[in-house]
Chain A
Amino acid sequence: MATTTPIGQLERERAGPAARDVVRPTRWREHAFDWGVNLLLLAGGVLMLAPFVWAFSTSFRLGRESFSLPPQWLPTDWRLDNYRAVLDALPFFRFVFNSFKVAALITLLQVVTCSTAAFAFARLRFRGRDALFFVFLSSLMIPQYVTIIPIFIIVRRLNLLDSHWALILPSAFSAFGIFLLRQYFLTIPRDLEDAARIDGAGFFEIYRRIMLPLVAPALVTLTIFSFNYHWNEFFRPLIFLTTWEQMTLPLGLTVLRGYLGTGNTAAVMAGVTMAITPVLLVFLLFQRYLIEGITLTGLKE
């Protein structure tokens, strides 16, 4: 295995410690190259996170210091005044609560509708199954901007403008979720189902007691994707919600910027920090599920 490619190193790593300990003349050059690349990657990574660091540090400073140059990257101060300003100026906790409520209800709804449909598509035989699955999947290519106009008209007829149901009900169907869960349902061996049938279990029991627990990781993945997507959603709330009482977080942030943006940037950054921190926590906790979900489906809703 005489090789100088980076892949070669991976090979040696997999081959075990014995192979890795072989001393070869080009080793120091490889090392220097590797660490050069690592340093570059690290610099890039710092750049990627810089906007968050700036927002975070600024949120704890005096408002008038927001634009002091040269920029201070680390928090120089730990004032909570800006957080208080945000909460005084706007019903910010209300925005947080609204976002949580909308995202949680949509997620719950989707877990039900997607898992039942995915079960039918993956484990049951019926005429028209493949055709219907194809139709469902095709809906992935309909931009939300096409359906939003008729949905707006429906929602207005139902008197649901400026209500959270305008966001929740139209999200009950998710082609992405059905596709994701079906992929998992397909991997479950048939024997388990057959055994349950012989024991006299009905379809719902098979779905509920055997299948659902086995696809739990997929349900976690769907939950994270769906919750994150709707927590961040901006366009539909902009169209449907008009009063502060109903607004969700991203929309609320733009209102906050309009309200305090020129006078107190620090307060706006306090709002942004509050909006992004939960996403960061979820990411650190569930990174594996997210990456798995993307590589399995190649989609992000």
Chain B
Amino acid sequence: MEATAGSSGAPRSALGRWRRRETFAAWAFLLPSLVPFVIFVAGPLLAAVALSFFRYDILTPPEFAGLDNFRHLFADDRILAVYRNTVVYVAGTVGLETVLALLLAVATHRQIPGVLRYVFRTAYFFPVLTSLAAVSIVWGYLYHTNFGVINYYLGTIGGPQIRWLTSSAWAMPALVFLGVWKSLGFSYILFVAGLQSIPRHLYEAAAIDGAGRLSTFANITLPMLSPTMFFAVVIALINGFQIFDSPYIMTQGGPGDSTRTVAMYLQEQGFRFFDMGYAATVSLTLFLVILVLTLIQFRFGRSWVHYG
């Protein structure tokens, strides 16, 4: 990499040579991630857009279909149903999760014996790390109508015997409860970090003014925590819209289509019916949703730079 007479007008100084070497080195360091990025991220994204204009069943060559897939999309009753299901799931999990995580974070943000603090953090956070597929299997048994642990305890307090996974009224709530249990700890950890970054002098000032617990919470904690909450909610929304494992394992989308989510629907279209063009079209709608959510976060959320 000797700097030959600079046709690009680069100075022939030592500094110029160094700059060129730096640029060369930078691209060399980037190559190992740039290649898989192009092949497995950027390329496939463009290919998915292209596929949405084709009919392709994998076995026979793709056939140009114009806007057929999009016409299908707008006339498809099932796409409406799966989006409605997904939105219900997202609203339920994100709402419950945020409220519960906030309560938890506030309740543990005080002087607590070290052992208890450790126990709480472990208990509430551990489900986050486990495989959704594995815990869906366990919960499937817990939800069993006749032999399930949950209905047993409902029975002992005189509650109804709910057909959790086999009635269209309860299957979605059952998935929501599992989802909240599974990811509650994630929002909780974010909120704890958010609480720790609130300046102490604000609380000191409130104490001097004689503010009580509730008014301190409403006037200091909540507003100071709002960027964190906003961020946690957007992340939960993005994850929620992509839910697949638990409905696939626990209800197979049923009864009927009552728990089929967008991700399940496109998996069915693409990999069961091998309608790749339509599956790609459906996937693009999901991309659009995530894109809008991310842009909202980007536009309105403050960046995440709290170092507790």
| Residue positions of A touching B, CB distance < 8 A | 1-13, 34, 37-38, 40-42, 44-46, 48-49, 51-52, 54-55, 66-67, 69-71, 112-114, 116-117, 119-120, 124-127, 129, 132, 136, 139-154, 156, 169-170, 172-173, 178, 202-204, 207, 228, 231-232, 234-235, 238-239, 249-251, 253-254, 257, 265, 268-269, 272, 275-276, 279-280, 282-284, 287, 290-291, 294-300
Contacts and interface: CB of A to CB of B under 8 A. Distances in A.
Contact of A5 (B34, B40, B207): B207
B120 A147 contact: no
B29 A129 contact: no
B256 interface: no
B294 interface: yes
A146 B37 contact: no
Contacts of A145: 242, 244, 262-263, 266-267, 283, 286
Nearest to A144: B242
Given A113-B36, A154-B44, 9 more contacts: A38-B112, A45-B123, A49-B126, A139-B37, A143-B241, A150-B51, A150-B280, A239-B271, A294-B189
Contacts of A251: 133
Contacts of B144: 67
A240 to B, nearest CB: 10
Nearest to B241: A143
A16 to B, nearest CB: 13
Contacts of B181: 48, 51
Given A70-B152, A126-B26, A275 B235 contact: no
B36 A173 contact: yes
A54 B190 contact: no
Given A48-B127, A173-B41, A298-B235, A5 B216 contact: yes
Interface string B141-176: 110100101001000100000000000000000000
Given A146-B286, A299-B235, A117 B29 contact: yes
A41 B104 contact: yes
A88 B174 CA distance: 33
A249 B36 contact: no
Contacts of B120: 41-42, 45
A69 B138 contact: no
A233 to B, nearest CB: 8
A10 B110 contact: yes
Contacts of A34: 110-111
A6 to B, nearest CB: 3
A147 to B, nearest CB: 4
Nearest to B100: A44
B109 A116 contact: no
Interface in B5-52: 19, 21-23, 25-27, 29-30, 32-37, 39-45, 47-48, 51
A11 B110 CA distance: 9
A124 B203 contact: no
B58 interface: yes
B96 interface: no
B135 interface: yes
Nearest to B286: A143
A27 to B, nearest CB: 13
A149 B277 CA distance: 9
Contact of B304 (A152, A156, A275, A298): A298
B63 interface: no
B73 interface: no
Interface in B252-279: 262-263, 266-267, 270-271, 276, 279
A203 B271 CA distance: 46
Contact of B32 (A3, A67, A113, A153): A113
Contacts of A45: 119-120, 123-124
Nearest to B200: A11
A2 B112 CA distance: 20
B48 A150 contact: yes
5 contacts: A5-B206, A38-B116, A149-B276, A173-B40, A295-B308
Contacts of B35: 172
A235 B137 CA distance: 15
Given A147-B48, A290-B129, A297-B304, A119 B190 contact: no
